[in-house]
Amino acid sequence: MERREDLPLLGFRRRKPKGVCPASHAVKQLCRDRASKRWSALLTQTKSRIGHKFGMRKRLGEINWAAFVRYAEAEHKDAFFRAFTPVSGVLRCEGKISGAPCPKAIRVDLCVTTSHECGDALPGLHLDHSYDAKHVCEVWSEALPDDPVSWDDGLCGALVAHLLFGVEGHVLAQCSTRPIWQPRLTFRCGDVKGVKGQHAAGFCHDVAGAHYKHVLEVKDLRWPSA
């Protein structure tokens, strides 16, 4: 387990990668719009998955919830958006969570696709949590005291946020052997809402199923001294 002093308060600032996505402005705008919708659905809209559906806004209280949102936006939002417009110019399915490669080798070359083609392809690439977001929130809630004084009261807040938003390796990956600090959100192919005739077995990401083999315990989220 990492030491608290290894992590600056409110986190570090990751260095932005050199270069920019070489796609056209129209294609990059589509990708940014997609990122914005995913971020909002996960965190900032009134009935967001984390805050409303998984109950963390009520569990934390308004003041602590607002502090959590500020932290997440300061530490993860830029990287989350960059994931949709990579410097390589290519979005691809990274394969099944088991490590097996994508059988369809699905990829979207943002540099050659038209904006119309890009708009059709993006819904089929899902930014998948390696630990289900609902499961992370359940363990996070359980690990907190009954009346928390902060959103990460007694916990490693950086890890909680990383599990929910981490598309890049965390700085603690440089001083820790725990693989949990590696990227926790990965693009995987999945079904497209509203399209008939799709079967979960045909995709790397089953949008209706949870990764039950990837589980956390309360002790995983606490500092050693807690």
Vertex 189: Cα angle to 185 and 191 (nearest 5): 120
- The residue with tokens 């109950």 is 55
- pLDDT-based confidence at 4, cuts 50/70/90? low
Tell me if 105 is assigned to some domain.
yes
- pLDDT tens-digit profile of 195-211? 766 676 779 987 777 77
Whole-number Å distance between alpha carbons of 87 and 8? 28
Report pLDDT for 214.
Answer: 84
Q: Is the pLDDT of residue 175 over 60?
A: no
Burial level of 197, CB count in 10 A (0-12/13-18/19+)? exposed
Tell me if 145 is assigned to some domain.
yes
Burial level of 123, CB count in 10 A (0-12/13-18/19+)? middle
Mean pLDDT in residue range 160-177: 79
Number of domains into which the chain is organized: 1
β-pair type (185-189, 107-109): unpaired
Tokens of 225: 């001294």
- pLDDT tens-digit profile of 69-83? 999 999 999 999 999
Tokens of 22: 């070489």
Report pLDDT for 226.
Answer: 41
Kindly list the distances between the CA atom of residue 50 and the CA atoms of 41, 69, 138, 185, in Å, as whole numbers in the listed order. Answer: 9, 10, 10, 15
- pLDDT tens-digit profile of 95-133? 999 889 999 999 999 999 999 999 999 999 999 999 999
Which of the 8 DSSP states describes residue 53? I
Tell me if 14 is assigned to some domain.
no
Residues 21 and 89: beta-carbon distance below 8 Å: yes
Domain of 138 in residue numbering reads as 21-220
Kindly list the distances between the CA atom of residue 13 and the CA atoms of 10, 17, 33, in Å, as whole numbers in the listed order. Answer: 9, 12, 24
Burial level of 79, CB count in 10 A (0-12/13-18/19+)? middle
Tell me if 11 is assigned to some domain.
no
Average pLDDT of the chain to the nearest whole number: 87
- The residue with tokens 């959103």 is 151
Tell me if 6 is assigned to some domain.
no
Q: Is the pLDDT of residue 157 over 50?
A: yes
